[in-house]
Amino acid sequence: MTTTNVLQPSFLDLPPAVRRAQTAMQRPEVQAMLRRLSEFDLGIFMPHRHDEQTGDFQPLPDEVLQVESGCKVSFRNRDEIAHQTDRFLPVAWRWRDGALATASACEMVTEEGTGSTGTLIKHKMPNEH
């Protein structure tokens, strides 16, 4: 497995949480977890966002979700989408306060189709409203 070495000078300015996540990927126990997760078609995600003015990495706050809609990523307050399970599909998770918590979700749309329920659920695309 190849990952960037976090000791490179360009990584020294990363926030501690982001640097810790990058460093963790070099650890044998984290790579073992990744191998195990891959058996379930899962991977490892580093929850983060970027400062709107500088582009600097920032840890993703607990109350914020990364949301993909219409092939664009935005960051929204967790409370805005927490109970819209018919519209948003969780795609990344984190462990927070002793429980599973969504970190990222994709906005979905429902269409008439030939599925077993007569509807198809798919990712919302840019031209869909």
Contact 87, 45 (CB under 8 A): no
Best CA proximity match to 74, nearest among 90, 52, 46:
52
Strand, helix or coil at 114?
A: coil
- List pLDDT tens digits, range 71-115: 899 999 999 888 888 889 999 999 999 999 999 999 988 776 665
Question: What's residue 116's pLDDT?
Answer: 63
**Residue 78 CB burial class (10 angstroms; 0-12, 13-18, ≥19):** middle
pTM assigned to the model: 0.77
Report the alpha-carbon distance of residue 27 to residue 58 in Å, rounded.
22
- List pLDDT tens digits, range 26-78: 999 999 999 999 999 999 999 999 999 999 999 999 999 999 998 899 999 99
Report the alpha-carbon distance of residue 96 to residue 94 in Å, rounded.
6
